[in-house]
Chains A and B, each alone.
Chain A
Amino acid sequence: MSAGQHDDDGVAEDGAGDEAAAASIGPRQTIVAFPNGPLLVRGDFDIVDPDGNQLRRSRKTVALCRCGASVIKPYCDGSHKLIGFKTEPES
C-alpha cells in the first residue's frame, strides 16, 4: 500500500498535488499484521469477491482472518485464540 511511498518523515517523495497533500498526513491504507492474530485493514479500500462484487462490510476498519478458523470469513471472529494460532514459529 502507500506506506512505501513515504520517506522517514512520512512525506510523499514523488506524489503530486492532492495526493501528496493527503499522503503527507498519513497513508491512505494500512494493513497491520498482528502477532498471533488477524490482519487489520484501515483506510480507504474495498473488499470484493473474485468477480468484483462488494462483500458485506459493516465497519470502516476490519480484521481479516488469517488463521483459517473463523466462521465469519473473510473477517476475524477471535478463533485464533482458541486454536493457539502462531504467526511465528515456536523457538
Chain B
Amino acid sequence: MKQPEPRGPVSSLLLATLNGPEQSSPEAPSTASDLAPAVRDAVAATNDFAFDDDLQLTLFCLFELHYSGIDGTSGDWEWNPDLIAARRFLEQAYEAQLRSATTLPELPAPTSADVAAGLFELTGADGGPSMAKYVAKQATEEQIGEFLIQKSIYTLKEADPHTWSIPRLTGRAKAAMVEIQADEYGGGVPERMHSALFAQSMRGVGLDDGYGHYVDDVPAITLASSNLMSLFALNRRLRGAIVGHLAAYEMTSSLANRMYARGFRRLGFNDAVAAYFDEHVEADAVHEQIAGRDLAGGLVEAEPDLLSDVFFGAAAAAVVDTWMTEHILDAWKVGSSSLRSSASVIA
C-alpha cells in the first residue's frame, strides 16, 4: 500500500520510524522505542478510539505490515518488538471499547442449530439506518462513488482478514471456513475473486482501483471497520470473534446487495458495475447457511468456551457498521461529503 499521510503525532512518529532502517545504529538511531509510550499516552487521552483519526490510522498501518506492507519501508518492521508493543496498546483500547459498546443477547445452547438460530436472530434485528435502502433509492452519482471509496478500504482485500483464522480452526469449522473462502477467492478463477469484481465496479464508475488508493480520503471510522477485522483475525484468542464477524457479514449481505445493485442500475450503471453486488446476492445466501451451522456452530460445538466470543464478534460487526453508516448518512443528509477531502471523487 502507498504511504498514507499522517493524521497526528502518533501516526507521524510511526511513519517516520518506518521510513528508517529497522536495525537501530549510532549513525541511524531508530525512534521505534518511542512509539509504544506515545501510543499509551494518546490512548489514555482519546475520547473515542473508533473515531480517532491519528490512532486508527496508526493501527491500520501496523496491521497493514501483515497484509500488503507499506511502500518504501523495510519488510523487517513486520515483527519488530517495539511496533508489536505499540500495536498491543491500540488493540487493548479498541477491544475494551468494543466490549463495552456491544450488548450480547442471551446466549443459546452450545449446539450448531441453536448457535445458527441465535446468529440469524441477532443479525435480523433492526440495526438502525440502512445504507442499502439509501443507495437503492436516493444516492446521487457522487454519493454512490463515495460509497465505493468507503467500501474499498476493506473490499479490495475482501476475505483476507478471515483467512487468518483457518490454521486456528479444526474439523467442521475449518472445512466450512475454507469452503466459504474458496468461493470468496473466485473458486480458482482470478477474475471472479470478490476483490477483483469490486475493482471492476470501481473502474466502471471512474474510480482508481489501486489497493489503498483512497486511504487518505476516508474517515477514522472506515479504518476502524477494517481494523476490527484485523484485530479479531490476528489474535488467535479472538478466533471466536472473527468467526462471529464473518457470520454476521454473510447473514446481512444478500438482501442488502440486492438493493445496492438496484441503486447502481437506477443511476444507469451497467451489469459489469453491478456484478459485484449481484454475485453477493447469490453467494452469501449460500455462505450464511454454512457460516451459521458449520462454521460458527461447528466451532462452538468443538470449543464451547468460545460461544460468547462468537456472539461478541457478530455484535461488534453490527455496532461498527452502524457507526460507519451513521457517519456517512449524516454527512449526506446535510449535503456534505462523507470523505475527509472530496478531491478524488469521480471526475
A residues whose Cβ falls under 8 Å from a Cβ of B: 32, 34-35, 37-38, 40, 58-63, 71-72, 75-79, 81-82
Contacts and interface: CB of A to CB of B under 8 A. Distances in A.
Nearest to A81: B124
Could you tell me the dominant secondary structure of chain B's interface residues? Answer: helix
14 contacts: A40-B289, A59-B183, A59-B282, A60-B182, A60-B183, A63-B282, A76-B254, A76-B286, A77-B281, A78-B253, A78-B254, A78-B258, A81-B124, A81-B255
A29 to B, nearest CB: 15
B243 to A, nearest CB: 18
10 tightest A-B CB contacts, nearest first = A78-B254, A76-B285, A63-B286, A78-B285, A77-B281, A63-B285, A34-B289, A78-B255, A75-B282, A59-B183
B293 interface: yes
Interface of B: 113, 117, 120, 124, 179, 182-183, 187, 192, 253-255, 258, 279, 281-286, 288-290, 293
Given A35-B113, A58-B279, A61-B179, A78 B288 contact: yes
Given A58-B282, A61-B179, A77 B254 contact: yes
Contacts of A63: 282, 285-286, 289
B293 to A, nearest CB: 7
Nearest to B180: A61
Contacts of A34: 289, 293
A78 B283 CA distance: 10
B233 to A, nearest CB: 24
Given A61-B179, A71-B258, A38 B283 contact: no
A35 B293 CA distance: 11
Contacts of B286: 40, 59, 61-63, 76
A72 B282 contact: yes
B287 to A, nearest CB: 9
A34 B297 CA distance: 13
A63 B117 CA distance: 18
B285 A59 contact: no
A78 B284 contact: yes
A82 B253 CA distance: 13
A81 B342 CA distance: 38
Contact of A75 (B183, B192, B285, B293): B285
Contacts of A76: 254, 282, 285-286
Most buried by A among B120, B192, B282: B282
Contacts of B284: 78
A35 B113 CA distance: 9
A38 B283 CA distance: 13
B281 A78 contact: yes
Contact of B258 (A32, A60, A61, A77): A77
A38 B279 contact: no
A75 B284 CA distance: 11
Contacts of B182: 60
Nearest to B294: A32
B255 A61 contact: no
A62 to B, nearest CB: 6
B289 A38 contact: yes
Nearest to A57: B282
B276 to A, nearest CB: 13
